[in-house]
Amino acid sequence: MDLERISVTTTTAPGVAVDVDIPGTWEVERRDCAPTLVAKLSAEEAGPFADNIVVTLEPLPSETPRDLEAITAISRAQQHASVPDLHLLEDRPAAVGGLRGHSRALLQTAPPGLTVITRQVFALAGDTLVTLALTSFPFRDRESSALMEQILDTLSIRLDVEDLA
Amino acid sequence: MIAFDPATASFRGPSASLDHLISALSTDDELSAVLAAHASGIAADPTMDGIRGALTAPLFRVGITVSGPGAQQHHDLLVGANGVGVRRSPLKDGLAELTAYPIGTLPGGMTRLVRFLPGTAPTPEQGPIRVPQEQLVRLTDPDAATRVAAWSGLDPLIGDVLGPAADDSWQIVEARSSWTSLDEEPGEDLVVQIRRAEHHLLIEEENGSASLRPVTSLRAWEEFIRVLPEHDEVGAPR
Protein backbone atom coordinates (compact mmCIF):
# COMPACT_ATOMS: atom_id res chain seq x y z
CA MET A 1 0.00 0.00 0.00
CA ASP A 2 1.44 3.40 -1.00
CA LEU A 3 1.46 5.81 1.93
CA GLU A 4 1.61 9.58 1.90
CA ARG A 5 3.00 11.82 4.64
CA ILE A 6 0.54 14.33 6.03
CA SER A 7 0.63 16.86 8.81
CA VAL A 8 -2.45 17.51 10.93
CA THR A 9 -2.90 20.83 12.72
CA THR A 10 -5.81 22.94 13.85
CA THR A 11 -6.21 26.57 14.87
CA THR A 12 -7.99 25.43 18.03
CA ALA A 13 -4.80 23.67 19.24
CA PRO A 14 -1.98 25.97 18.14
CA GLY A 15 1.55 24.70 18.45
CA VAL A 16 0.65 21.01 18.08
CA ALA A 17 1.15 19.00 14.91
CA VAL A 18 0.67 15.33 14.18
CA ASP A 19 2.72 13.92 11.29
CA VAL A 20 1.75 10.51 9.98
CA ASP A 21 1.75 8.35 6.86
CA ILE A 22 -1.68 7.38 5.57
CA PRO A 23 -2.81 5.60 2.37
CA GLY A 24 -2.31 7.96 -0.55
CA THR A 25 -5.51 6.89 -2.33
CA TRP A 26 -7.85 7.50 0.60
CA GLU A 27 -10.21 10.49 0.49
CA VAL A 28 -9.13 13.12 3.02
CA GLU A 29 -11.27 15.76 4.72
CA ARG A 30 -9.73 18.35 7.03
CA ARG A 31 -11.72 20.37 9.55
CA ASP A 32 -11.02 23.10 12.03
CA CYS A 33 -13.16 21.35 14.60
CA ALA A 34 -13.22 17.80 15.92
CA PRO A 35 -12.60 15.46 14.26
CA THR A 36 -9.64 17.33 12.80
CA LEU A 37 -8.97 14.94 9.91
CA VAL A 38 -10.93 12.08 8.40
CA ALA A 39 -9.41 9.84 5.73
CA LYS A 40 -11.42 6.99 4.27
CA LEU A 41 -11.26 4.24 1.71
CA SER A 42 -12.87 5.19 -1.58
CA ALA A 43 -16.32 3.87 -2.36
CA GLU A 44 -14.92 1.74 -5.20
CA GLU A 45 -12.56 -0.12 -2.88
CA ALA A 46 -14.63 -0.13 0.32
CA GLY A 47 -17.21 -2.84 -0.20
CA PRO A 48 -19.74 -2.98 2.64
CA PHE A 49 -17.68 -0.70 4.92
CA ALA A 50 -15.30 2.18 4.22
CA ASP A 51 -12.26 1.77 6.46
CA ASN A 52 -11.31 5.14 7.88
CA ILE A 53 -8.71 7.02 9.91
CA VAL A 54 -9.80 9.81 12.25
CA VAL A 55 -7.29 12.18 13.86
CA THR A 56 -8.43 14.62 16.51
CA LEU A 57 -6.49 17.40 18.21
CA GLU A 58 -8.62 18.52 21.12
CA PRO A 59 -7.61 21.29 23.52
CA LEU A 60 -8.47 20.23 27.05
CA PRO A 61 -10.62 22.50 29.22
CA SER A 62 -8.60 24.15 31.97
CA GLU A 63 -10.47 22.18 34.65
CA THR A 64 -9.58 18.79 33.13
CA PRO A 65 -6.63 17.11 34.91
CA ARG A 66 -3.67 16.50 32.59
CA ASP A 67 -3.79 12.81 33.46
CA LEU A 68 -3.98 10.60 30.37
CA GLU A 69 -5.14 7.49 32.21
CA ALA A 70 -7.98 9.43 33.83
CA ILE A 71 -8.93 10.97 30.49
CA THR A 72 -8.93 7.62 28.67
CA ALA A 73 -10.96 6.03 31.47
CA ILE A 74 -13.63 8.70 30.95
CA SER A 75 -13.60 8.15 27.19
CA ARG A 76 -13.95 4.40 27.74
CA ALA A 77 -17.02 4.97 29.88
CA GLN A 78 -18.45 7.29 27.23
CA GLN A 79 -17.85 4.67 24.55
CA HIS A 80 -19.55 1.97 26.63
CA ALA A 81 -22.55 4.27 26.93
CA SER A 82 -22.80 5.17 23.25
CA VAL A 83 -21.18 2.59 20.99
CA PRO A 84 -23.48 -0.22 19.79
CA ASP A 85 -22.38 -3.73 20.88
CA LEU A 86 -19.04 -2.47 22.15
CA HIS A 87 -16.58 -5.24 23.05
CA LEU A 88 -13.20 -4.18 24.38
CA LEU A 89 -10.19 -6.06 22.98
CA GLU A 90 -7.35 -4.02 24.45
CA ASP A 91 -6.95 -1.03 26.74
CA ARG A 92 -3.47 -0.29 28.09
CA PRO A 93 -0.60 2.21 28.27
CA ALA A 94 1.61 2.35 25.17
CA ALA A 95 4.18 4.62 23.55
CA VAL A 96 2.50 6.85 20.94
CA GLY A 97 4.37 9.19 18.58
CA GLY A 98 7.32 9.39 20.92
CA LEU A 99 5.14 10.26 23.91
CA ARG A 100 3.66 8.25 26.77
CA GLY A 101 0.25 7.26 25.45
CA HIS A 102 -2.57 4.78 25.54
CA SER A 103 -3.73 2.07 23.16
CA ARG A 104 -7.28 0.77 22.82
CA ALA A 105 -8.99 -1.66 20.47
CA LEU A 106 -12.67 -2.44 20.39
CA LEU A 107 -15.35 -4.07 18.29
CA GLN A 108 -18.67 -2.45 17.55
CA THR A 109 -21.60 -2.96 15.24
CA ALA A 110 -21.75 -0.33 12.51
CA PRO A 111 -24.59 0.28 10.07
CA PRO A 112 -25.84 -1.75 8.25
CA GLY A 113 -25.21 -4.44 10.84
CA LEU A 114 -21.50 -5.15 10.45
CA THR A 115 -18.86 -5.86 13.06
CA VAL A 116 -16.03 -3.37 12.70
CA ILE A 117 -12.83 -3.03 14.70
CA THR A 118 -11.45 0.30 15.93
CA ARG A 119 -7.77 0.54 16.83
CA GLN A 120 -7.20 3.78 18.72
CA VAL A 121 -4.25 5.57 20.31
CA PHE A 122 -4.20 8.56 22.65
CA ALA A 123 -1.46 10.93 23.76
CA LEU A 124 -1.22 14.23 25.64
CA ALA A 125 0.73 16.95 23.86
CA GLY A 126 0.84 19.77 26.35
CA ASP A 127 -2.77 20.81 26.84
CA THR A 128 -3.98 18.98 23.76
CA LEU A 129 -5.40 15.47 23.62
CA VAL A 130 -4.30 13.75 20.43
CA THR A 131 -6.26 10.73 19.28
CA LEU A 132 -5.89 8.63 16.16
CA ALA A 133 -8.29 5.83 15.30
CA LEU A 134 -8.35 3.34 12.44
CA THR A 135 -11.75 1.67 12.02
CA SER A 136 -11.85 -1.23 9.62
CA PHE A 137 -13.73 -4.28 8.39
CA PRO A 138 -12.45 -7.42 10.19
CA PHE A 139 -12.80 -9.63 7.10
CA ARG A 140 -9.70 -7.86 5.73
CA ASP A 141 -7.91 -7.55 9.05
CA ARG A 142 -4.47 -8.65 7.79
CA GLU A 143 -4.30 -5.45 5.74
CA SER A 144 -5.73 -3.29 8.52
CA SER A 145 -3.37 -4.50 11.22
CA ALA A 146 -0.41 -4.00 8.87
CA LEU A 147 -1.66 -0.49 8.07
CA MET A 148 -2.00 0.38 11.77
CA GLU A 149 1.54 -0.85 12.34
CA GLN A 150 2.80 1.43 9.57
CA ILE A 151 0.77 4.35 10.91
CA LEU A 152 2.18 3.93 14.42
CA ASP A 153 5.74 3.50 13.11
CA THR A 154 5.49 6.80 11.23
CA LEU A 155 3.45 8.76 13.77
CA SER A 156 5.14 11.79 15.26
CA ILE A 157 3.59 14.36 17.58
CA ARG A 158 5.28 17.75 17.57
CA LEU A 159 4.99 20.44 20.14
CA ASP A 160 6.23 23.62 18.51
CA VAL A 161 7.56 25.48 21.49
CA GLU A 162 7.94 28.73 19.56
CA ASP A 163 4.20 28.72 18.71
CA LEU A 164 3.28 28.10 22.32
CA ALA A 165 5.33 31.02 23.56
CA MET B 1 -39.18 -31.18 22.66
CA ILE B 2 -37.88 -28.67 20.13
CA ALA B 3 -39.28 -25.17 20.06
CA PHE B 4 -38.91 -22.47 17.40
CA ASP B 5 -38.74 -18.76 18.13
CA PRO B 6 -39.52 -16.78 14.94
CA ALA B 7 -38.42 -13.52 16.58
CA THR B 8 -34.83 -14.76 16.81
CA ALA B 9 -35.01 -17.44 14.09
CA SER B 10 -33.89 -20.03 16.64
CA PHE B 11 -34.63 -23.67 17.23
CA ARG B 12 -34.02 -24.83 20.82
CA GLY B 13 -34.26 -28.25 22.34
CA PRO B 14 -32.40 -31.29 23.68
CA SER B 15 -28.97 -31.58 22.01
CA ALA B 16 -29.47 -34.97 20.42
CA SER B 17 -32.91 -34.06 19.08
CA LEU B 18 -31.60 -30.78 17.70
CA ASP B 19 -28.75 -32.56 15.93
CA HIS B 20 -31.22 -34.94 14.28
CA LEU B 21 -33.23 -31.95 13.15
CA ILE B 22 -30.09 -30.27 11.76
CA SER B 23 -29.22 -33.39 9.78
CA ALA B 24 -32.73 -33.55 8.38
CA LEU B 25 -32.78 -29.85 7.51
CA SER B 26 -29.57 -30.43 5.56
CA THR B 27 -31.39 -32.73 3.13
CA ASP B 28 -33.78 -32.04 0.26
CA ASP B 29 -36.79 -33.44 2.10
CA GLU B 30 -39.91 -31.29 2.27
CA LEU B 31 -39.71 -28.89 5.20
CA SER B 32 -43.14 -29.88 6.51
CA ALA B 33 -42.06 -33.52 6.57
CA VAL B 34 -38.82 -32.67 8.36
CA LEU B 35 -40.67 -30.70 11.00
CA ALA B 36 -43.28 -33.41 11.43
CA ALA B 37 -40.56 -35.99 12.00
CA HIS B 38 -38.18 -33.99 14.20
CA ALA B 39 -39.99 -30.93 15.58
CA SER B 40 -43.64 -31.86 15.79
CA GLY B 41 -46.05 -29.08 16.52
CA ILE B 42 -43.87 -26.46 14.83
CA ALA B 43 -45.29 -24.82 11.71
CA ALA B 44 -43.06 -23.94 8.78
CA ASP B 45 -41.72 -20.38 8.94
CA PRO B 46 -40.12 -18.37 6.09
CA THR B 47 -36.91 -17.89 8.09
CA MET B 48 -36.41 -21.65 8.07
CA ASP B 49 -35.77 -21.51 4.31
CA GLY B 50 -32.77 -19.29 4.92
CA ILE B 51 -31.45 -21.63 7.59
CA ARG B 52 -31.89 -24.63 5.30
CA GLY B 53 -30.25 -22.82 2.42
CA ALA B 54 -27.16 -22.14 4.54
CA LEU B 55 -27.04 -25.71 5.91
CA THR B 56 -27.27 -27.27 2.46
CA ALA B 57 -24.79 -24.93 0.74
CA PRO B 58 -22.24 -23.59 3.22
CA LEU B 59 -19.43 -21.37 1.95
CA PHE B 60 -17.31 -22.02 5.01
CA ARG B 61 -17.57 -23.36 8.55
CA VAL B 62 -15.88 -22.44 11.80
CA GLY B 63 -15.86 -24.79 14.78
CA ILE B 64 -14.90 -23.12 18.08
CA THR B 65 -14.16 -25.11 21.23
CA VAL B 66 -13.59 -23.27 24.50
CA SER B 67 -12.18 -25.37 27.33
CA GLY B 68 -11.63 -24.24 30.88
CA PRO B 69 -11.46 -25.74 34.35
CA GLY B 70 -15.21 -26.04 34.74
CA ALA B 71 -16.61 -26.61 31.28
CA GLN B 72 -15.99 -27.26 27.62
CA GLN B 73 -18.25 -25.78 24.97
CA HIS B 74 -18.30 -26.36 21.25
CA HIS B 75 -19.93 -23.97 18.81
CA ASP B 76 -20.44 -24.58 15.11
CA LEU B 77 -20.88 -21.61 12.81
CA LEU B 78 -21.32 -21.55 9.10
CA VAL B 79 -21.84 -18.96 6.43
CA GLY B 80 -24.14 -20.04 3.62
CA ALA B 81 -23.81 -19.22 -0.04
CA ASN B 82 -27.26 -17.64 0.36
CA GLY B 83 -25.78 -14.97 2.64
CA VAL B 84 -27.28 -16.46 5.81
CA GLY B 85 -25.21 -17.38 8.86
CA VAL B 86 -26.22 -20.28 11.09
CA ARG B 87 -24.83 -21.16 14.50
CA ARG B 88 -25.29 -24.25 16.68
CA SER B 89 -24.39 -23.72 20.32
CA PRO B 90 -24.88 -25.61 23.56
CA LEU B 91 -27.17 -24.20 26.22
CA LYS B 92 -27.66 -25.26 29.84
CA ASP B 93 -29.12 -28.54 31.06
CA GLY B 94 -28.37 -30.58 27.95
CA LEU B 95 -30.14 -28.18 25.61
CA ALA B 96 -28.78 -26.62 22.43
CA GLU B 97 -29.86 -24.02 19.91
CA LEU B 98 -29.66 -23.55 16.16
CA THR B 99 -29.98 -19.92 15.21
CA ALA B 100 -29.55 -17.65 12.23
CA TYR B 101 -27.30 -14.60 12.45
CA PRO B 102 -26.30 -11.73 10.12
CA ILE B 103 -23.02 -12.78 8.49
CA GLY B 104 -21.60 -9.28 8.85
CA THR B 105 -21.58 -9.78 12.61
CA LEU B 106 -19.58 -13.03 12.48
CA PRO B 107 -16.33 -11.54 13.87
CA GLY B 108 -18.19 -9.95 16.78
CA GLY B 109 -20.14 -13.14 17.39
CA MET B 110 -16.99 -15.25 17.47
CA THR B 111 -15.36 -12.81 19.88
CA ARG B 112 -18.30 -12.96 22.27
CA LEU B 113 -18.61 -16.76 22.09
CA VAL B 114 -15.10 -17.12 23.53
CA ARG B 115 -15.68 -14.24 25.98
CA PHE B 116 -12.53 -12.55 24.74
CA LEU B 117 -11.03 -10.27 27.39
CA PRO B 118 -8.56 -7.38 27.08
CA GLY B 119 -5.17 -8.10 28.61
CA THR B 120 -1.77 -6.71 29.48
CA ALA B 121 1.20 -6.45 27.15
CA PRO B 122 4.23 -8.67 27.65
CA THR B 123 7.61 -7.03 28.23
CA PRO B 124 10.38 -7.56 25.66
CA GLU B 125 12.04 -9.99 28.10
CA GLN B 126 8.97 -12.24 28.30
CA GLY B 127 9.69 -14.52 25.39
CA PRO B 128 8.33 -17.91 24.31
CA ILE B 129 7.77 -20.48 27.08
CA ARG B 130 8.68 -24.09 26.25
CA VAL B 131 5.97 -26.49 27.42
CA PRO B 132 5.32 -30.23 27.06
CA GLN B 133 3.16 -30.72 23.99
CA GLU B 134 1.19 -33.50 25.66
CA GLN B 135 0.12 -31.12 28.42
CA LEU B 136 -1.40 -28.82 25.80
CA VAL B 137 -3.32 -31.73 24.31
CA ARG B 138 -4.64 -32.70 27.75
CA LEU B 139 -5.77 -29.11 28.24
CA THR B 140 -8.43 -29.73 25.57
CA ASP B 141 -9.63 -33.05 26.98
CA PRO B 142 -13.39 -33.48 27.42
CA ASP B 143 -12.75 -34.61 31.01
CA ALA B 144 -12.55 -31.63 33.39
CA ALA B 145 -10.22 -33.38 35.85
CA THR B 146 -7.74 -34.07 33.04
CA ARG B 147 -7.84 -30.42 31.98
CA VAL B 148 -7.33 -29.19 35.53
CA ALA B 149 -4.40 -31.55 36.06
CA ALA B 150 -2.81 -30.40 32.79
CA TRP B 151 -3.18 -26.76 33.82
CA SER B 152 -1.59 -27.43 37.19
CA GLY B 153 1.52 -28.55 35.28
CA LEU B 154 1.52 -25.64 32.80
CA ASP B 155 0.67 -22.72 35.08
CA PRO B 156 3.97 -22.76 37.03
CA LEU B 157 5.94 -22.76 33.75
CA ILE B 158 3.98 -19.73 32.56
CA GLY B 159 4.24 -18.06 35.94
CA ASP B 160 8.03 -18.38 35.94
CA VAL B 161 8.10 -16.05 32.92
CA LEU B 162 5.01 -13.86 33.31
CA GLY B 163 4.76 -13.73 37.07
CA PRO B 164 1.57 -14.18 39.10
CA ALA B 165 -1.77 -13.73 37.35
CA ALA B 166 -4.45 -11.27 38.48
CA ASP B 167 -6.82 -14.22 39.09
CA ASP B 168 -6.95 -17.97 38.51
CA SER B 169 -9.12 -17.90 35.38
CA TRP B 170 -7.87 -19.64 32.25
CA GLN B 171 -9.17 -21.03 29.00
CA ILE B 172 -7.88 -22.58 25.80
CA VAL B 173 -9.64 -21.75 22.54
CA GLU B 174 -9.47 -23.91 19.42
CA ALA B 175 -10.90 -22.46 16.22
CA ARG B 176 -11.03 -24.62 13.09
CA SER B 177 -12.24 -23.35 9.75
CA SER B 178 -12.98 -25.31 6.60
CA TRP B 179 -14.07 -24.36 3.11
CA THR B 180 -13.79 -25.35 -0.51
CA SER B 181 -11.17 -23.33 -2.32
CA LEU B 182 -11.49 -21.72 -5.74
CA ASP B 183 -9.70 -24.70 -7.30
CA GLU B 184 -12.22 -27.01 -5.58
CA GLU B 185 -9.71 -28.33 -3.07
CA PRO B 186 -10.52 -28.49 0.66
CA GLY B 187 -9.10 -25.57 2.63
CA GLU B 188 -8.71 -25.45 6.38
CA ASP B 189 -7.06 -23.51 9.14
CA LEU B 190 -6.56 -23.92 12.87
CA VAL B 191 -5.84 -21.42 15.63
CA VAL B 192 -5.23 -22.45 19.23
CA GLN B 193 -4.55 -19.92 21.95
CA ILE B 194 -4.60 -19.66 25.73
CA ARG B 195 -5.71 -16.93 28.08
CA ARG B 196 -4.34 -17.03 31.63
CA ALA B 197 -6.18 -14.26 33.48
CA GLU B 198 -4.88 -11.07 31.80
CA HIS B 199 -2.18 -12.87 29.78
CA HIS B 200 -2.74 -14.01 26.20
CA LEU B 201 -0.51 -16.69 24.70
CA LEU B 202 -0.23 -18.05 21.19
CA ILE B 203 0.73 -21.69 20.76
CA GLU B 204 3.66 -22.35 18.45
CA GLU B 205 4.68 -25.85 17.46
CA GLU B 206 7.80 -26.88 15.58
CA ASN B 207 9.50 -30.22 15.12
CA GLY B 208 7.37 -31.89 17.76
CA SER B 209 7.94 -29.30 20.47
CA ALA B 210 5.61 -26.60 21.67
CA SER B 211 5.99 -23.15 23.13
CA LEU B 212 3.65 -20.43 24.32
CA ARG B 213 4.36 -16.92 23.04
CA PRO B 214 3.03 -14.09 25.24
CA VAL B 215 1.31 -11.44 23.11
CA THR B 216 -0.93 -8.43 23.55
CA SER B 217 -4.65 -9.18 23.63
CA LEU B 218 -5.08 -7.33 20.33
CA ARG B 219 -2.45 -9.56 18.70
CA ALA B 220 -4.21 -12.63 20.09
CA TRP B 221 -7.52 -11.43 18.65
CA GLU B 222 -5.92 -10.76 15.27
CA GLU B 223 -4.63 -14.33 15.15
CA PHE B 224 -8.02 -15.67 16.26
CA ILE B 225 -10.00 -13.84 13.61
CA ARG B 226 -7.56 -14.90 10.88
CA VAL B 227 -8.95 -18.42 11.11
CA LEU B 228 -11.61 -17.04 8.76
CA PRO B 229 -10.75 -17.63 5.09
CA GLU B 230 -9.99 -14.63 2.91
CA HIS B 231 -12.76 -13.67 0.52
CA ASP B 232 -10.62 -14.66 -2.48
CA GLU B 233 -9.92 -18.14 -1.07
CA VAL B 234 -13.48 -19.44 -0.94
CA GLY B 235 -15.06 -21.21 -3.89
CA ALA B 236 -18.56 -22.50 -4.44
CA PRO B 237 -19.78 -25.02 -1.88
CA ARG B 238 -19.46 -28.68 -2.82
Contacts of A92 in chain B (CB under 8 A): 118, 120-121, 216
Average pLDDT over residues B8-34: 94
Question: Which of the four pLDDT bands, split at 50, 70 and 90, describes residue A165?
Answer: very low
Separation between Cα atoms, residue B201 and residue B211, nearest integer Å = 9
Average pLDDT over residues B73-91: 96
**Per-residue model confidence as pLDDT tens digits over B43-67:** 999 999 999 999 999 999 999 999 9
pLDDT at B238: 63
pLDDT at B175: 97
pLDDT at A145: 96
Question: Which of the four pLDDT bands, split at 50, 70 and 90, describes residue B112?
Answer: very high
Average pLDDT over residues B32-47: 92
A151 interfacial to chain B (CB closer than 8 Å) = no
As for the ipTM of the complex, it is: 0.93
Separation between Cα atoms, residue B22 and residue B45, nearest integer Å = 16
Tell me the nearest-neighbour CA distance from A31 into chain B, angstroms.
30
Please compute Rg for chain A using Cα positions.
16
Ordered by start, the domain boundaries in chain B are: 3-113, 129-230
- Res A164 pLDDT > 50: no
Strands (E), A9-127: 16-23, 27-30, 37-40, 52-59, 87-96, 99-110, 114-125
Secondary structure of chain B: what % helix, strand, coil (to 5)? 30, 35, 35
- Which of A67-76, A91-100, A153-162, B63-72 is predicted least confidently? A153-162
- Res A33 pLDDT > 90: no
pLDDT at A121: 98
**Per-residue model confidence as pLDDT tens digits over B137-172:** 999 999 999 999 999 999 999 999 999 999 999 999
> Which of B116, B179, B221, B233 should we substitute to test contact with A (largest number of A Cβ atoms within 10 Å)?
B221
Letter for the amino acid at A53?
Answer: I
Contacts of A113 in chain B (CB under 8 A): 102, 104-105
* Main-chain phi, psi angles of A13, to 5 degrees: -130, 70
pLDDT at B28: 87
Contact A39, A27 (CB under 8 A): yes
The reply to whether residue B118 touches residue A138, judged by beta carbons under 8 angstroms, is no
**Per-residue model confidence as pLDDT tens digits over B193-203:** 999 999 999 99
What is the CA B91 to chain-centroid distance, rounded? 14
Contact B60, B178 (CB under 8 A): yes
Overall size of chain A counted in residues: 165
What is the CA B167 to chain-centroid distance, rounded? 24
Q: Which residues does A62 contact at the CB level (< 8 Å), separation at least 6?
A: none
Q: Which residues does A27 contact at the CB level (< 8 Å), separation at least 6?
A: A39, A40, A41, A42
**Per-residue model confidence as pLDDT tens digits over B171-185:** 999 999 999 888 888
- Res A161 pLDDT > 50: no
Average pLDDT, chain A: 92
Residue of B nearest to A105 (CA): B218
pLDDT at A127: 93
The reply to whether residue B225 touches residue A138, judged by beta carbons under 8 angstroms, is yes
Average pLDDT over residues A44-49: 87
Contact B166, B221 (CB under 8 A): no
**Single pTM value for the model:** 0.94
Which residues 106-145 of B have a C-beta within 8 angstroms of A? 106-109, 111-112, 116, 118-121
Nearest beta carbon to residue B216 from set A87, A88, A90: A90
The reply to whether residue A141 touches residue B120, judged by beta carbons under 8 angstroms, is no
A105 interfacial to chain B (CB closer than 8 Å) = yes
